[in-house]
Amino acid sequence: MVKEEVLELRRRLEVTERELQRLSRFEWGYTKQLWKLSFLSWILGVSLFFLLVILYEPSLLAGVPQALPLLAVAAAAPLLMVLYFVGRVEKRVKNLERSRDLLLSRYRRALLEHFEESAS
């Protein structure tokens, strides 16, 4: 009985470890892609904004210094999105680490019970 529990806990612990390693590798690439995408989307958005202003009403460019706070907000939006999505992945990693720690303590306890049972 105890031996099956030890084996089951060991299997679940290995699965959790593999998933943590996979998520860690995925997280770095995902973060880099999100940063690139956010930077490119900001560049594209600002470029399109100025292109449309130049095409339809060039006199609005005189008011650009007053629009600088709006451009700062436009730059912050993609960054906030990246932080949100990376935070979601980070939350999954933390949940898996917590699960791994719980499984590890249960595995150790079951292993000790198995050794105590076999020693008796």
User: pTM above the 0.95 mark?
Assistant: no
**What pLDDT does residue 67 have?**
67
Secondary-structure percent of the chain, ordered helix, strand, coil, rounded to 5:
100, 0, 0
For residue range 13-69, what is the model confidence (pLDDT) as tens digits? 888 888 888 888 888 888 888 888 888 888 888 788 778 878 887 776 676 667 667
For residue range 55-112, what is the model confidence (pLDDT) as tens digits? 887 776 676 667 667 777 777 778 888 889 888 888 988 888 898 888 888 888 887 7
Biggest distance spanned by C-alpha atoms of the chain: 91
Q: What letter would DSSP give residue 83?
A: H
Residue 2 pLDDT > 70: no
